[in-house]
Chain A
Amino acid sequence: AQKVTQAQTEISVVEKEDVTLDCVYETRDTTYYLFWYKQPPSGELVFLIRRNSFDEQNEISGRYSWNFQKSTSSFNFTITASQVVDSAVYFCALSEAQEYGNKLVFGAGTILRVKS
């Protein structure tokens, strides 16, 4: 069975601090996809990244970076030099390649509060 665990319920940081959001997943499939979504106060989930299970290269996009480690079943997300606009709920999600209809399984989410 698929499962995604985001152990950090809420994180508070001061602007310009770096922050890492943890994501641990469980799956029996060898082919799967991992995602991060951001949900700002407006409510709409915004897609941030998709990574397939065969691509373990870390990715950097501006102040965002992702560390995918199959050995520990983790897909962590780091925000460098955080800003107030980064305040949101962040969700990690998993989709198995064999899953018909590309259903996503979401973690519980991590609330990030960035204070000025």
Chain B
Amino acid sequence: DVKVTQSSRYLVKRTGEKVFLECVQDMDHENMFWYRQDPGLGLRLIYFSYDVKMKEKGDIPEGYSVSREKKERFSLILESASTNQTSMYLCASSLPSSKEQYFGPGTRLTVT
């Protein structure tokens, strides 16, 4: 079974802090994704990566950056957290051809 893990289930940070969300997958997938989930808006793509050190902006990249130094790990970085970044963050991975994405359990981030 594909396993996607995220470093924290719940996180509380203060405004202005730098925040790191980590995601690790164990299936050698090329593609990895970061989404945020907000009520009434579904999941929106922040960034994705199709290979090590490669990244592409999604629909809402502002205020975020990413890092992919190793194939299995994809990090989401909030350079200076703001209250409007309070949300559920979901990581996913997939093979290039399958289209099907496998999701981690999510990190519920609260910025106060």
Q: Given A33-B99, A44-B104, A102-B94, A9 and B45 touching (CB < 8 A)? A: no
B16 on the A face (CB < 8 A): no
> How many residues from B make CB contacts under 8 Å with A?
29
- Cβ distance B93 to chain A, nearest Cβ, rounded Å: 11
Q: Mark A15-49, 1 if CB is under 8 A from B, else 0.
A: 00000000000000000010101000011111100
Q: How large is the interface on A (under 10, 10 to 19, 20 to 34, 35 or more residues)?
A: 20 to 34
**Chain B residues touching A, majority SS:** strand
Partner of B50 from A101, A104, A109 at Cβ < 8 Å? A101
Q: A33-B99, A43-B88, A50-B99 are in contact. Are A103 and B58 (CB under 8 A)?
A: yes
24 interchain pairs, CB-CB under 8 A = A6-B42, A35-B100, A37-B103, A42-B105, A43-B106, A44-B106, A45-B90, A45-B92, A45-B103, A46-B103, A47-B100, A91-B42, A101-B50, A102-B31, A102-B94, A102-B96, A102-B98, A103-B45, A103-B48, A104-B45, A106-B35, A106-B42, A108-B42, A109-B42
